[in-house]
Amino acid sequence: DTEVTQTPKHLVMGMTNKKSLKCEQHMGHRAMYWYKQKAKKPPELMFVYSYEKLSINESVPSRFSPECPNSSLLNLHLHALQPEDSALYLCASSQDMSRYSGNTIYFGEGSWLTVV
């Protein structure tokens, strides 16, 4: 199993709503990532969790709140978002945070978020 599974695939939320995006992997990976991808743009890193601890926060606004409840799950809690936050949110995982040739980053299919 080399899959990263994300739910929901599509989400529409109002600016006052609270919602969550979920990500799961069963590859035994200890690094998990959230990327944001706007239409026709490359993915941009938001957060990295390493061994269930937040390792990197790329100056993301506090209305995005990540959570890693265990080594297989990664959540992204959303609150008071703006329309410009509408994007594809990609979850990814890798063995760990080390740079070595076998440490491939695997991506999920993404969750399409629309903020109205």
Partner 1 sequence: AQRVTQPEKLLSVFKGAPVELKCNYSYSGSPELFWYVQYSRQRLQLLLRHISRESIKGFTADLNKGETSFHLKKPFAQEEDSAMYYCALSGAGGGNKLTFGTGTQLKVEL
**What string marks each residue from 54 to 83 as x (binds partner 1 by CB under 8 A) or -?**
-xx---------------------------
Distance between CA atoms of 3 and 83, rounded to whole angstroms?
Answer: 30
CA distances for 85 relative to 22, 24, 34, angstroms: 17, 22, 14
> With contact defined as beta carbons under 8 Å apart, do 65 and 76 qualify?
yes
Does residue 111 touch partner 1 according to CB under 8 A?
Answer: no
Q: What is the dihedral of CA 29, 107, 77, 7, to 10 degrees?
A: -100
Closest CB 48 distance from partner 1, rounded Å: 7
Does residue 32 touch partner 1 according to CB under 8 A?
Answer: no
Closest CB 4 distance from partner 1, rounded Å: 8
Residue with smaller CB distance to partner 1, 80 or 97:
97
